[in-house]
Structure 1
Amino acid sequence: MLSYPDIDPVLFSLGPLQIRWYGLMYLLGFTASYFLVKRQIAAFSFTQLRDQFENLNVVLILSVIVGGRLGYVLFYNLPYYLEHPLEIPATWSGGMSFHGAAIGLLAGGLLFCRWQRINFLATADLYAATVPIGLGLGRIGNFINGELFGRPTTLPWGMVFPGGGPVTRHPSQLYEALLEGVALFALLWLVRKRPWQNRRWWPHGSILSLFLVGYGLVRFGVEFVRQPDPQVGLVFSVVTMGQLLSGVMVAGGLGLWLWAAVRRRPDVTAP
């Protein structure tokens, strides 16, 4: 058994203001995505996005926060928030859903790109290649908070989490940080140029599709060792809510790739 490192979730305080590790991870994830997408815009000469890059980032940040919070409310704790609707905006009290954030990102990005006449799928590919960085950092933040821990295990790297009782549990946050973060980023960054070099087999939208499938498969697998949310348990007594939503992501990713491949035509909105 490994000892759980008891790290204070609060990085430092300035009077009543607290700077938390989890919030810092969000900031680092947004920052990394900002610079890596900007680098790709220059490398691929994507001039349309370059002109609206700053405005789009504002929209996407708001979409992540709103989508992540509403996703948690709707998917994971709707009865509670129906009784306490004034707590829905209280993101500082915890409760964000990645699947909700993903829906928010796609919806916000799609609306903005259509408004500004920017190729949405080409834009989504650039951002999708960078999203795993934020995911990995976010899981490290979950680990520091001692939340979203795994199910009981007898494996030698199991840990006793402060909020998980006296039993030894999987450090599932670290599994996700390595798989959703490091491994998925390495894969997507390796193939990020394909839609700009070989659209016959890699149409615009294929990096986004690969992200959806990759994340969905990883999350579905890790959910077998991650403790289900107590207020939800198993859906239909079979799968967790995370597995159900991840299965939808995998299907959506595969469907998007097939649709993009079928509709493939000379691209007039992106170089």
Structure 2
Amino acid sequence: MLTYPNIDPVLLSLGPVSVHWYGAMYLVGFVVGWWLGRVRAGRANSGWQVEQVDDLLFYIALGVVFGGRLGYTLFYGFDDFLRDPLSLLRIWQGGMSFHGGLIGVLVAMWLFGRRHGKGFFQSTDFIAPLIPVGLGAGRIGNFINGELWGAPGSVPWAMQVSCERFVALCTDKLQLPPGTLVTPPLHPNQLYEALLEGLVMFIVLWLFSAQPRPARAVSGLFLVCYGVFRFSIEFVRMPDVQLGYIAFGWLTMGQLLTLPMLLAGGVLIWLAYRKRTLSD
């Protein structure tokens, strides 16, 4: 059993300006993704110019931030938004939805393609191996923020968390008695997701896309990998207290939103290898 280190969520304070770890992790994801995109564009017969990656990053950033925040508000925190509309702007406090961010990025890729003459799946196949870097960095930001904890568990790496700092976790989610100092050992769900949705998925997609693949294949594999990892990890992740379980006493909102991704990914892979049209 381990103890959560209670990392200060503020990375750096400069007078009235505070730089939060959560925002810094997103910046790391964008910068590393931009660099990897330039590496992909520099490959022979990539069909991409290195300079296009700079513009591509701008579209992705807009899609992630606006889509992720709006998605979280609609899927997980609409009641909070109605009570406090300005909460939509407090991104540094956490609260970004992957599924909302994905929709935002898909819209951004459509707009990018119209401007640069790129097919929709040509763009999504190109960025799919880059996204896990941002996912992994974002989950590390969740860990530093002390949010999205897993359920109580007995694994050696389960962590006890301070109830003094994370009051809502103890009182709302775990419903511990008043005066409890620490939680029971919890699965570090954020690190599970950083490992699987970040590192493992990056390796799989980077290696898979290193060779020419049929159009839609890389995008489809991304959806399937994320869907499998996210659906599985949700079994040891506590549901959002305002939603609870959606159905069957175990289905979470994250799993419900992931099911269409699994279906869409399978269809894209089937179409890719049925038509066998190589991505540019």
Using structure 1 for the length normalisation, give the TM-score.
0.90
Q: 1:55 matched to which residue of 2?
A: 55
Provide Cα deviations, 1:70-100, integer angstroms capped at 9, x if missing partner.
1001111123323433432332333110111
| Contact 2:30–2:57 (8 Å) recurs in 1 | no
Provide Cα deviations, 1:162-194, integer angstroms capped at 9, x if missing partner.
324322111111111111111111111111123
User: What is the distance in 2 between the residues matched to 1:47 and 1:3?
Assistant: 49
RMSD: 1.9
Q: 2:100 matched to which residue of 1?
A: 100
Match of 1:223 among 234, 246, 253: 234
User: What is the distance in 1 between the residues matched to 2:27 and 2:69?
Assistant: 17
Structure 2 counterpart of 1:168, one-letter code: P
Give 1:111-150 correspondences, 5 Å limit: 111-150=111-150
Deviation at residue 208 of structure 1 after TM alignment: 1.4
Q: 1:199 matched to which residue of 2?
A: none
Give 1:144-183 correspondences, 5 Å limit: 144-162=144-162, 163=166, 164-165=169-170, 166-183=183-200
**Distance change >3 Å, CA 9–CA 80, structure 1 → 2:** closer
Deviation at residue 265 of structure 1 after TM alignment: 4.3
Structure 1 counterpart of 2:9, one-letter code: P
Q: 1:5 matched to which residue of 2?
A: 5
* Aligned partner of residue 234 in structure 1, secondary structure: coil
Structure 1 counterpart of 2:136, one-letter code: G
Match of 1:209 among 216, 220, 227: 220
Using structure 2 for the length normalisation, give the TM-score.
0.87
User: What is the distance in 2 between the residues matched to 1:26 and 1:78?
Assistant: 23
User: What is the distance in 2 between the residues matched to 1:45 and 1:16?
Assistant: 49
* Aligned partner of residue 240 in structure 2, secondary structure: coil
Q: 1:246 matched to which residue of 2?
A: 258
* Aligned partner of residue 239 in structure 1, secondary structure: coil
Give 1:36-75 correspondences, 5 Å limit: 36-50=36-50, 52-75=52-75
* Aligned partner of residue 222 in structure 1, secondary structure: helix
* Aligned partner of residue 103 in structure 1, secondary structure: helix
Q: 2:208 matched to which residue of 1?
A: 191
Structure 1 counterpart of 2:42, one-letter code: A
User: What is the distance in 2 between the residues matched to 1:119 and 1:147?
Assistant: 38
Provide Cα deviations, 1:88-135, integer angstroms capped at 9, x if missing partner.
233233311011111111111122203321133222222111211111
| Contact 1:149–1:161 (8 Å) recurs in 2 | no
* Aligned partner of residue 13 in structure 1, secondary structure: strand
* Aligned partner of residue 89 in structure 2, secondary structure: coil
Show structure 1 runs of 5+ residues with no match.
197-201
**Distance change >3 Å, CA 266–CA 149, structure 1 → 2:** closer
**Distance change >3 Å, CA 158–CA 209, structure 1 → 2:** same
User: What is the distance in 2 between the residues matched to 1:47 and 1:203?
Assistant: 14
User: What is the distance in 2 between the residues matched to 1:235 and 1:266?
Assistant: 40
**Distance change >3 Å, CA 44–CA 126, structure 1 → 2:** farther
User: What is the distance in 2 between the residues matched to 1:33 and 1:266?
Assistant: 23
Identity %: 45
| Contact 2:22–2:94 (8 Å) recurs in 1 | no
User: What is the distance in 1 between the residues matched to 2:225 and 2:82?
Assistant: 34
Which 4+ residue blocks in structure 1 deviate beyond 6 angstroms? none
How many residues are paired up? 262
User: What is the distance in 2 between the residues matched to 1:125 and 1:22?
Assistant: 27
Deviation at residue 47 of structure 1 after TM alignment: 4.5
**Distance change >3 Å, CA 168–CA 84, structure 1 → 2:** same
User: What is the distance in 2 between the residues matched to 1:144 and 1:266?
Assistant: 41
* Aligned partner of residue 193 in structure 1, secondary structure: coil
